[in-house]
Amino acid sequence: MRFAAPIKFFQACCITAAIVFGMMRAEAQTNVFAFPAIGITQKVTDYGVKNVNIAYIFAWVYGTNGTLYPYGSTVWYASNTNPLLNKIQLDSVFTRGLSNEVLYSVCTNKNPLYDKSKGVVVYVSADIGAGGQESQDVFYNYSTIQLIHNPDNSYSVPDLSSFSTVLNDFIPFYVPNLQWARVEIGNKGDSSVFEVDDVLYDPQSNLVGSDGFLYLSTDYITDSSSTNGDFWMKISTFDSKVFQICNGDGNAISETPMVLAMNQNGTNATVTVNGGDSGWGFVLQSSADLKAWTNCSPVTFISPTNDLPNAVPSQFIYPSTNRSLFFRTATTNLPPT
């Protein structure tokens, strides 16, 4: 997003000559993580199914006193030789597990304290595991399954062909070495932002939020599709010295240029920076010959920012030869703090 006001942070002490300035990047970045094709519901579903590698089934039964008791759980692991190819296969994992390992067991259980007439409460979830961590549920179903009550007072497993999981409200994307992420959402056709989610991943203070998963709203993704969406999304991530920006379709977005300007007042001048993207760290550099560049200050600025509290203006001395200075912003490999 472009900043509403300039970023003012350096004053230069002038003598007689004017300051010549420009903008250039100090270094290029190469993306090491690419978002998969997302956007419409089908693409998000395909992404989720392809990456799910663990599934859980939890079951509860009612007692004759009306209390709901945990009955048991089971887990399924995907493998390279048995990958999930579509949502039908994913749901079949749960129907087989429910039928063979949970419901049949309840039907044949002789415990007189179980009230089978109230059915079996089940919660199933499909997660993504990566980097030694597991995401929140990608697909889930929480429901009560009614058993078939036979004339001989026994119970049997019902038809589960209609059993299906649904997408979670938030979809996880594993970004190796993720240190910072920012998600901005606005209405399509309007550049203003109505929601911003900004997360600093710090393993020392926030273990849960530092598992390397970036969680994005399913509704915002599917309703920001370039074909039929009402919203736009800007997803910024910083992972292992790489800063990148994507939209709700998973496509890379070009960075917003930083533009330098100068305002002169008597013998002083203020160098300002406009534009840039939220979260990108940078320093202001100066040079007398466009070859040797020096940081104007040890302070690293994280955009967007304004005048720093108690900041002392940096003073520049003009070279004695051409009496001109050039300025540029140089990006840094530091996450926002």
Q: Are 240 and 32 in contact (CB under 8 A)?
A: yes
My answer on whether 88 and 189 are in the same domain is no
Residue 252 within any structural domain of the chain: no
Residue 43, SS3 per DSSP = helix
My answer on whether 47 and 141 are in the same domain is yes
Hey, what are 236's tokens? 């910024």
Pick the range with the lowest mean pLDDT from 82-86, 161-165, 214-218, 221-225.
82-86
My answer on whether 65 and 124 are in the same domain is yes
My answer on whether 162 and 176 are in the same domain is no
Give the end of a domain, one of 122, 149, 168.
168
Residue 337 within any structural domain of the chain: no
My answer on whether 237 and 269 are in the same domain is no
Q: Are 210 and 201 in contact (CB under 8 A)?
A: yes
My answer on whether 59 and 119 are in the same domain is yes
My answer on whether 283 and 226 are in the same domain is no
My answer on whether 126 and 188 are in the same domain is no
My answer on whether 58 and 120 are in the same domain is yes
My answer on whether 142 and 182 are in the same domain is no
Residue 233 within any structural domain of the chain: yes
Pick the range with the lowest mean pLDDT from 38-47, 224-233, 265-274, 323-332.
265-274
Residue 2 within any structural domain of the chain: no
Query: How does residue 1 score in pLDDT terms, banded at 50, 70 and 90?
Result: very low
Give the end of a domain, one of 118, 147, 168.
168
Residue 35 within any structural domain of the chain: no
Give every CB contact of residue 320 below 8 A, 6+ residues apart in sequence. Answer: none
Q: How high does pLDDT run on average in the chain?
A: 80
- Dihedral sign of CA atoms 111, 115, 119, 124 in order: negative
Q: Give backbone dihedrals phi and psi of 95, rounded to 5 degrees, phi first.
A: -65, -40
Q: What is the pLDDT of residue 283?
A: 80
Residue 77, SS3 per DSSP = strand
Domain with 204 in it: 171-246
Which domain CATH number covers 199?
2.60.40
- State how many domains the chain has: 3
Residue 131 within any structural domain of the chain: yes
My answer on whether 205 and 158 are in the same domain is no
pLDDT digits (tens, 9 = 90+) for 287-327: 888 888 888 765 666 655 544 555 555 556 666 666 677 88
My answer on whether 51 and 82 are in the same domain is yes
DSSP class of residue 146 equals P
Q: What is the pLDDT of residue 27?
A: 44
pLDDT digits (tens, 9 = 90+) for 238-257: 876 788 899 999 998 888 88
Give the end of a domain, one of 152, 168, 184.
168
- Dihedral sign of CA atoms 277, 227, 166, 195 in order: positive
Residue 153 within any structural domain of the chain: yes
Hey, what are 325's tokens? 């200075």
Considering only CA atoms, which of 231, 226, 228 is closest in space to residue 250? Answer: 226
Residue 225 within any structural domain of the chain: yes
261 sits in which H/E element: strand 258-265
Q: Which amino acid belongs to residue 275?
A: G
Query: How does residue 102 score in pLDDT terms, banded at 50, 70 and 90?
Result: very high
